[in-house]
Amino acid sequence: MADFDPSRPIPPIDQPARLASLEAAVRARTDLVPEVGIVLGSGLGGLVDGLVDEVAIPFGDLPGWPAATAPGHVGRLLLGRLDGVPVAMLQGRFHLYEGNDPGLVIQPVLLLGRLGARTIVLTNAAGGVDPTFGPGTLMIISDHLNLTGRTPLLGPNADDIGPRFTDLTDVWSARLRERLRAAFAAESVDHREGVYAALLGPTYETPAEVRMLRTMGADAVGMSTALEAIAARWAGLEVCGVSLVSNLGAGYSGQPLSHEEVLEAGLVAGPRLARVLRRFVAELGAER
Ligand code: HPA
């Protein structure tokens, strides 16, 4: 893979062949069929601690995948059991701001589906656009604004994965959001709900942009997640997600933003979110 170029366009029609080789590479290591697929954002690696019988595959070992490069992202696919429920977790993800093509950004989520997961949980670190969303706020994602200017579904479609025109009315499943609320309540962890705005990054926003996002209906802002959610819906998977608000949006606090502060908030609120998601997965498993 010396000539590997993560920015090379991957149209939808190329995904089935790529997913077949990704699936084969995973199946060479484990036959575990996950029910739930979870993407762990910056500083949210803690959930991994509960995994039993895990198989860990570094991203760089999977065909067509670069090793994840964002600080705070380990870059591994893990398969195992969480309180008896078979799950797959992505510890890290591919971001647009790293120069990755949208078609590559969505492959981890498509692979989770291909391996058997019908439920996808997306997590991320985000800035608070609602001025009452301070560091440590956990926000159930109720909807998103894709402001990246990119779509993973550009070009000839792969009809065997999903339709040409994907309905996005109910990307963030009302059924799963209700389950998440119940898990927050059961763990006595506070939460908010709101709209996640995805921007390209890698800069944080200007204060004017944060004010603009507020008028547009955003409650939190980040640099991931929206394309993954779109792809999951395209592939017919059920999606939910939680943002860990690591900082107030630019301009609210009078302080500059830093990636260190993002990782720090993950250390504090991450374990709380891990407890909630563990409960959520266990309850989904109990439903079978
Ligand atoms: N903006 C965008 N992405 C982020 C932020 C932010 O303020 N905090 C964590 N990820």
Render pLDDT for 219-262 as a digit per residue (tens, 0 to 9).
Answer: 999 999 999 999 999 999 999 999 999 999 999 988 888 888 77
Q: Measured between alpha carbons, how far is 280 from 171 in angstroms, rounded to an integer? A: 19
**1, part of any domain:** no
Active site annotation includes 224: yes
Q: Write down the pLDDT at residue 81.
A: 96
What is the CA(221)–ligand 1 centre distance, in A?
6
**154, part of any domain:** yes
Q: Write down the pLDDT at residue 3.
A: 55
Q: Measured between alpha carbons, how far is 247 from 42 in angstroms, rounded to an integer? A: 13
Q: Write down the pLDDT at residue 265.
A: 78
Q: Write down the pLDDT at residue 2.
A: 45
To test ligand 1's pocket by mutation, which of 257, 258, 268 has the most ligand atoms within 8 angstroms of CB? 257
List the one residue out of 218, 28, 244 whose CA is nearest residue 124: 244
DSSP code, position 172: B
**Which of 88, 89, 125, 269 is an active site residue?**
125
CATH number for position 86:
3.40.50.1580
The neighbour count for residue 228, using CB atoms within 10 Å, is 27
Per-residue pLDDT of the chain in tens (288 residues, 90 and over written 9): 445 789 999 999 999 999 999 999 999 999 999 999 999 987 677 788 889 889 999 999 999 999 866 665 679 999 999 999 999 999 999 999 999 999 999 999 999 999 999 999 999 999 999 999 999 999 999 999 999 999 999 999 999 999 999 999 999 999 999 999 999 999 999 999 999 999 999 999 999 999 999 999 999 999 999 999 999 999 999 999 999 999 999 999 888 888 887 777 778 889 999 999 999 999 998 887
**140, part of any domain:** yes
Q: Write down the pLDDT at residue 69.
A: 63
To test ligand 1's pocket by mutation, which of 204, 219, 244 has the most ligand atoms within 8 angstroms of CB? 204
**Which of 95, 158, 228, 250 is an active site residue?**
95
List the one residue out of 220, 272, 228 whose CA is nearest residue 246: 220
**Sequence letter at residue 273:** L
Active site annotation includes 247: yes
**34, part of any domain:** yes
Q: Measured between alpha carbons, how far is 231 from 167 in angstroms, rounded to an integer? A: 11
How far CA 131 is from CA of 114, 128, 134, 221, 234, in Å, comes to 39, 6, 7, 12, 33
To test ligand 1's pocket by mutation, which of 44, 123, 129, 221 has the most ligand atoms within 8 angstroms of CB? 221
Q: Write down the pLDDT at residue 215.
A: 98
Q: Write down the pLDDT at residue 48.
A: 82
Render pLDDT for 184-210 as a digit per residue (tens, 0 to 9).
Answer: 999 999 999 999 999 999 999 999 999
Number of structural domains in the chain: 1
**46, part of any domain:** yes
Q: Which residues line ligand 1 (CB under 6 A)?
A: 125-127, 204-205, 221-223, 246-247, 249, 257, 262
Q: Measured between alpha carbons, how far is 212 from 226 in angstroms, rounded to an integer? A: 19
**201, part of any domain:** no
**171, part of any domain:** yes
Active site annotation includes 252: no
What is the CA(44)–ligand 1 centre distance, in A?
15
Q: Write down the pLDDT at residue 167.
A: 97
**143, part of any domain:** yes
The answer to whether 46 touches 271, Cβ cutoff 8 Å, is yes
- Domain span at residue 31? 19-178+219-286
